[in-house]
Amino acid sequence: MKWAGSFLGITAGYVIAGSLGGIVGVVLGYIYDRGWFPFSAISPFAHDQKETLYKATFTTMGCVSKVDGQVSAQEIRCAEDVMKQMLLSPQQRLRAISYFEQGKQPCFDIDSMLYEFRHVCCVQPRVAKSFVEVQLRLALADGQVNSVEQRLLIHIAHALGFSREDCDRLSSLLRSTGSTGQAPATVMAAYQVLGISAAASNAEVKQAYRRLLSRYHPDRVLAQYESEQKMGLAKEKTQKICAAYRTLREVRGIK
């Protein structure tokens, strides 16, 4: 199955051939810059299903933002960005804010909310992955995903039907982003350079790297009698591709 694009694109992000084929990267991908909410996934929903989707999205975001004890300004901005990406009407935005506040409360029952979301919306894998990527984006808003947030994200993924293998991969990636010394923004940029979702498998990362390297390698550009300007751009592009691949190799432990 494929991620809905990148973030919820969703930038749905959200995973790939076979199973989540590489949810490993879900955390980072081109979650940020590509209009990531899976509008294509939402459009077929009935009105009550859309409302459940909005409610689940923002209550869960509120829960994720508060799980470590405090809500940061970056997390609030992230929630506002999601509202913009979802093209909410003024009334819907007010409800989204209310849902976000509900999710922050100690009494919020996230399991019941996720159950309702999964069954009322008949959640397909693509939408579930996209949903998790939204929560991942929020968790990364302040530049790190602490252990409490990691456990909650894994719990959410499991509640939405992710396999044990997919949850293990996600858990491994979440841990690795905090131990490799790579800043989240750097890792996300690397996925973007390679044009893949953070959910891509290691094999897909290698494939994207080799494909782009072949396309932009200066020797190939030269063989096509391109101008010196294009040669320079090709070299610059190749350097970025190689740097992005080195970053992902380190984060993922690719041999």
Give tens-digit pLDDT for 160-218.
Answer: 988 887 787 777 667 655 555 555 567 778 888 999 877 678 889 999 999 998 888 77
For the four alpha carbons of 138, 83, 58 and 34, in that order, the dihedral sign comes to: negative
Residue 240 reports pLDDT greater than 50: yes
According to the model, what pLDDT value does residue 7 have? 32
What is the rounded distance in angstroms from the CA atom of residue 23 to the CA atom of residue 2?
10
β-bridge partners, 11? 7
Residue 70, judged by CB atoms within 10 A of its CB (0-12, 13-18, 19+), counts as: exposed
Residue 108 reports pLDDT greater than 90: yes
d(CA 238, CA 44): 41
Question: pTM for the full model?
Answer: 0.62
SS3 1: coil
**CATH assignment, 23-187:** 1.10.3680
Per-residue pLDDT band for 8 (boundaries 50, 70, 90) equals: very low
Residue 122 has pLDDT above 70, yes or no: yes
Contacts of 26 (CB under 8 A, 6+ apart): 3, 13, 14, 15, 20, 129, 132, 133, 136, 170, 173, 197, 198, 199
Cβ contact 221:231 at 8 Å: yes
Q: What is the pLDDT of residue 193?
A: 92
- Per-residue confidence (pLDDT) for residue 121, from 0 to 100: 78
Query: What tens digit of pLDDT does each residue of 13-30 get?
Result: 333 222 232 333 333 333
Q: Distance from first CA to last CA of the chain, Å, rounded?
A: 25
Q: Which residue has the higher pLDDT, 9 or 205?
A: 205
Angle between helices 47-66 and 147-159 (to 10 degrees): 160
Q: Which of 66, 46, 37 is nearest to 132 (CA)?
A: 37
Q: What's the mean pLDDT when you consider all of the chain?
A: 76
- Are 128 and 161 spatial neighbours (Cβ–Cβ below 8 Å)? yes
The pLDDT, as a whole number, for residue 39 is: 37
Which segment, 74-78, 141-145, 231-235, is predicted with the most confidence on average? Answer: 74-78
The first and second tokens of residue 97, run together, are: 């804010």
CA pair distance 54, 62, nearest whole angstrom: 12
| Separation between Cα atoms, residue 145 and residue 174, nearest integer Å | 7
Nearby residues of 248 by Cβ (< 8 Å), 6 or more positions away? 187, 190, 191, 194, 205, 254
- Rounded CA gap, 32 and 44, in Å? 24
- pLDDT score recorded for residue 166: 77
pLDDT of residue 162: 86
Largest CA distance in the chain: 66
- What is the pLDDT averaged over residues 30-57? 60
Task: Decide if pLDDT at 233 tops 50.
Answer: yes
Q: What is the percent of the chain where pLDDT is above 70?
A: 72
How much of the chain, in percent, has pLDDT values that exceed 90? 33
Tally of residues, the chain: 255
pLDDT for 41: 44
Distance from the Cα of residue 167 to its chain's centroid:
14
